[in-house]
Amino acid sequence: MSQEINKVIIIGASGNLGPAILSALDSNPNFTISILSRKSSTTTFPSHIQVHRVTDSYPEAELLSAFKDQDAVVNMAPITQVATHKTIIDVAIKAGVKRLILSEFGTNVPELQTTEPVPIYEGKVDIRDYMKSKESEGMTWTGLVVGAFFDWGLEDGFLGFDLKTRTAKIFDSGNALTNFALLSTVGLATAAILEKPAQTANRYVFINSFRTTQNDILAALENVTGHKWDIKRTTCLEESQIGREKMKKGDWSGVGHAIMGASYSGGKYDFAQNRGLDNELLGLPASEELEATVAKIVKGEKV
């Protein structure tokens, strides 16, 4: 079976990351794109892209029809739906799909210790292990590790910086090196993975746009805005504990506390240092210019 990938179906093309991946794949002449969307969804997509509407429970027969003749599935379904992910894997194999991009796109989950501060990621480990158990059945997989979403996280406050109040929440000393990626870069990386199937098969791929510190981000924000920012101090341990307690109660706002509590602690969570990067393999820049990117985000410009 040829490894070449042309026809790609995207699951979860809306949301924070979906539009960036959809744009990167749709603008690449090597791919013909379609979308899998729940019937209950009101999201609209470009008229030239075929949309397969399926029942919200993702019935196998409807998935099989949508996956027919597809070379690859890019899966961005919520990671809390572990059973759904396993069904997607099984049906994709049955349909003859060549490559599945797992719903990763985050921090360094290949290491089991990442589930300690972020219990919700246990689902990712379960899904990955299930996929690995199916490797002999002919479909390959890739997990893309990118760090925290920089542009979305800066705009949303997820990274601890409030653009409206000019307040920064600094974890520990603020000097731990942390990996971040622009949404557009994640989209380009996803397309490049599918263009290089042999080099990216059955493994995690690691990319970033920046490896920088909170203090460097703060300095860039102060330079760009022309104002000194207010600083609030916290610790990675405290934020991780807040996140765990919230998630135990079913409060998913704790996810951000847990993720950044891990990410800003550096060390074993610094995948660029510990595992190396695949930016060169995928034809991505080694690093973006931090202050210029921050300036665009503050101005509301696209990055």
pLDDT tens figures, 234-245: 999 999 999 999
Angle formed by the axes of helices 290-299 and 214-225, nearest 10°: 50
pLDDT for position 2: 65
pLDDT for position 48: 97
The yes-or-no verdict on residue 118 having pLDDT over 80 is: no
pLDDT for position 274: 87
pTM of the model: 0.95
For residue range 165-222, list pLDDT tens digits in order: 999 999 999 999 999 999 999 999 999 999 999 999 999 999 999 999 999 999 999 9
